């Protein structure tokens, strides 16, 4: 598997997680206030721009990008190269272009030398910071062609190269070596953004000085600042900045032995069930913890010995035994910072037989009707459990768990949401994202899917994968749309995805034209062949419909429509096409009509019937035309003339406009 990946992001959207803390994500659900993955990605970019302390030579990188359209960033790992690259490109964000993180070695991705990779005004990121020698050599071979296309399209390209790798002499003028900014400035910037008062983080602190005594990667400094934030939120009122930093320092230590001793001292099953529940539901309400611990006991041991209720230990005593407590808000947390992640890792690593039970238990908690089981609680649980699968390289297990959750009978909506989130965690994991993209491809293209799991995949592709890899999302949604029955969710997702993206519409039309063009393919085509975006140049030198490749695709697909589908099926889209031609949008009326006539002409023995159907559709379109009736009648006459020429029964020169539209 490649150690580096890339993404194509329309409107710079997606989910990434670069720290060690929890990530809060959401997908579409009936809960209208639930955040979407795309919105979260925008928030993360906004945070990145505010948190970035400009590394050394950031000004030079900015000037190089402005002068040449390309900058190649070098620098030691942890110096902030990738963050700087994203911020640089965001400064060139414009309505006509999109952010595009390249995937030069993944299936169905265009090679770097393909001009179709770049649209006008795009912002391109090629992150090769983790590439090996072979991958870097392959990418270098396509860089010159890519730069040429970038220049022609008035786009901007930032390449993050492997540190100290060889760069061709002709590209040396684009290379800028990034140096890490001052660690104290980075820490203070993050603490300020976390809401800590200025008078706190400007003080001298022993823990901070010890932490910064040695060079730290930017991500590690950001993680330490987040630990300070968490320590402040859980601290007693009499504790201050020094105690918060000390707690953050302790949280960074290896706690495996500490947790092992804690677990060894808890010999009773209810104690361990409570400890696991607190670790996976850390911060949840005490009622949730109590119910979840009982659920876990029932999942692992369905027939425990019954103890009279009044002989049970109360929850406060039981929490004290596992080093946890209930705060004034009624929510349960461990007494030590970051103990929850250490406990999760311990049970996952040292009690492997427990792992299958945790998936079943998590589904029960997610579908619980307990009023304190909120969206945040469910999302935290799924994210933390998914984190254990991914941490230990068990991507296949997480994928299987998501599939199993989506087919559960209880509280299907919540289980589907959990399955979407579990797959999102896999897709956005740097080490396993490529594996999940491939697995989702196999599901969409080849697997026989249940209705509910198919809906999960539609949502994952439309809201998660499309936010970071829209080309791959398009292909997967295309396969789902071809196979769906009794619903049009995948088709609607395809239509939404290509809106505003010339590149995606072009790729979809090409994919359709190269397929067998089944009735499902033709339904997809009729859903995306809207003439308005096809005739809109969108800042480019020419409209899509003027490109020869697009014309070939449209002709092929329209021919199959006319030959294989009953007229009532395609009449509405043909009317819209003819209405748009009548308005002569962009002066492309002739092109639109020629495509229809050319498609009918290729219908072989059925071309006469196809011509007649087109003309009949044009006459009906006159009665429903939103514009002036005269223009619609002129378009019909022009269509009739083109049909006559195609049949060899009319003059090559069309009648003058004044002579058109005079039929009774």
82-111 pLDDT, tens digit per residue, is 999 999 998 887 656 777 788 777 777 788
Tokens in use for 108?
A: 């169905």
CB 481 within 8 A of CB 524: yes
Secondary structure, 3-state, 199-247? HHHCCCCHHHHHHHCCCCCHHHHHHHHHHHHHHHHHCCCCCCHHHHHHH
Whether the per-residue pLDDT at 454 is higher than 60: the answer is yes
Whether the per-residue pLDDT at 413 is higher than 90: the answer is no
**H-helix or E-strand spanning residue 346:** helix 339-350
Characterize the bridge pairing of strands 70-74 and 156-160: parallel
SS3 call for 411:
coil
CB atoms closer than 10 angstroms to residue 326? 15
Angstrom distance (rounded) from CA 654 to CA 638: 7
Residue among 403, 405, 412, 409 nearest 381 (CA): 405
Q: Over the stretch 337-355, which tens digit does the pLDDT of each residue have?
A: 999 999 999 999 999 999 9
**pLDDT bracket for residue 600 (50, 70, 90):** very high
**pLDDT bracket for residue 137 (50, 70, 90):** very high
- Which residue bears the tokens 């254990």? 388
Fold of 54-177: Rossmann fold (3.40.50)
Spacing of C-alpha 484 from chain mean position: 22
Compute the C-alpha angle 129/394/298, nearest 5°: 145
Whether the per-residue pLDDT at 440 is higher than 90: the answer is yes
What residue ranges do the domains of the chain occupy? 54-177, 183-251, 256-392, 505-664
Q: Rounded to two decimals, what is the model's pTM?
A: 0.85
Q: State residue 407's pLDDT score.
A: 82
């Amino acid at each position: 598997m490649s150690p580096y990946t890339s993404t194509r992001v329309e409107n710079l959207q997606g989910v990434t997680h670069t720290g060690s803390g929890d990530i809060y994500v959401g997908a579409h659900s009936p809960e209208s206030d639930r955040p979407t993955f795309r919105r979260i990605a925008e928030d993360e970019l906004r945070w990145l721009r505010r948190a970035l302390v400009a590394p050394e030579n950031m000004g030079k990188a900015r000037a190089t990008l402005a002068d040449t359209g390309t900058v190649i960033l070098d620098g030691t790992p942890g110096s902030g190269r990738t963050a700087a690259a994203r911020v640089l490109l965001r400064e060139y964000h414009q309505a006509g272009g999109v952010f595009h993180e390249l995937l030069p070695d993944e299936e169905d991705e265009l090679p770097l030398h393909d001009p179709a990779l770049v649209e006008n005004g795009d912002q391109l990121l090629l992150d090769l910071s983790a590439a090996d020698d072979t991958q870097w050599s392959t990418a270098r071979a396509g860089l010159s062609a890519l730069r040429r296309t970038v220049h022609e399209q008035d786009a901007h390209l930032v390449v993050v190269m492997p540190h100290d790798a060889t760069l061709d002499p002709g590209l040396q003028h684009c290379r800028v070596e990034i140096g890490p900014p001052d660690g104290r400035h980075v820490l203070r910037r993050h603490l300020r953004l976390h809401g800590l008062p200025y008078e706190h983080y400007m003080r001298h602190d022993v823990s901070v000085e010890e932490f910064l005594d040695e060079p730290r990667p930017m991500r590690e400094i950001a993680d330490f600042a987040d630990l300070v934030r968490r320590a402040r939120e859980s601290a007693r009122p009499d504790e201050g900045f020094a105690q918060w930093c000390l707690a953050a320092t302790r949280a960074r230590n290896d706690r495996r032995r500490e947790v092992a001793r804690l677990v060894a001292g808890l010999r009773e099953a209810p104690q361990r069930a409570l400890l696991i529940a607190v670790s996976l539901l850390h911060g949840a309400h005490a009622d949730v913890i109590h119910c979840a611990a009982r659920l876990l006991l029932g999942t692992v041991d369905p027939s425990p010995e019954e103890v009279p209720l009044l002989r049970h230990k109360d929850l406060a005593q039981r929490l004290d035994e596992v080093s946890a407590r209930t705060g004034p808000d009624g929510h349960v947390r461990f007494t030590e910072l970051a103990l929850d992640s250490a406990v999760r890792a311990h049970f996952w690593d040292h009690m492997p037989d427990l792992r299958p039970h945790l998936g079943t238990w998590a589904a029960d908690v997610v579908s619980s009707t307990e009023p304190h089981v909120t969206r945040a609680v469910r999302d935290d649980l799924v994210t933390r459990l998914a984190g254990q699968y991914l941490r230990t390289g068990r991507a296949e297990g997480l994928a299987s768990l998501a599939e199993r959750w989506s087919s559960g009978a209880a509280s299907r909506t919540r289980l589907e949401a959990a399955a979407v989130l579990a797959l999102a965690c896999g897709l956005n994991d740097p080490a396993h994202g490529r594996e999940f993209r491939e697995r989702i491809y196999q599901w969409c293209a080849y697997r026989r899917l249940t209705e509910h799991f198919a809906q999960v995949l539609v949502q994952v592709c439309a809201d998660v994968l499309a936010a970071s890899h829209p080309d791959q999302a398009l292909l997967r949604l295309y396969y789902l749309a071809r196979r769906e029955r009794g619903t049009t969710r995948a088709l609607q997702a395809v239509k939404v995805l290509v809106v505003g993206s010339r590149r995606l519409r072009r790729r979809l039309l090409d994919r359709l034209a190269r397929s067998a063009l089944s009735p499902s393919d033709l339904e997809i085509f009729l859903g995306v062949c809207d003439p308005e975006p096809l005739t809109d140049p969108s800042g480019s030198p020419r409209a899509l419909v003027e490109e020869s490749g697009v014309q070939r695709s449209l002709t092929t697909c329209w021919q199959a429509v006319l030959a294989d589908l009953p007229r009532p099926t395609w009449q509405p889209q043909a009317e819209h096409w003819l209405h748009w031609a009548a308005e002569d949008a962009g002066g492309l009326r002739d092109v639109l009509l020629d495509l229809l006539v050319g498609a009918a002409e290729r219908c072989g023995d059925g071309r006469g019937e196809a011509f007649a159907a087109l003309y009949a559709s044009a006459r009906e379109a006159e009665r429903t035309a939103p514009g002036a009736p005269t223009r619609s009648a002129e378009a019909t006459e022009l269509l009739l003339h083109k049909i006559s020429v195609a049949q060899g029964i009319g003059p090559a020169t069309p009648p003058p406009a004044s002579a058109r539209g005079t039929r009774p």
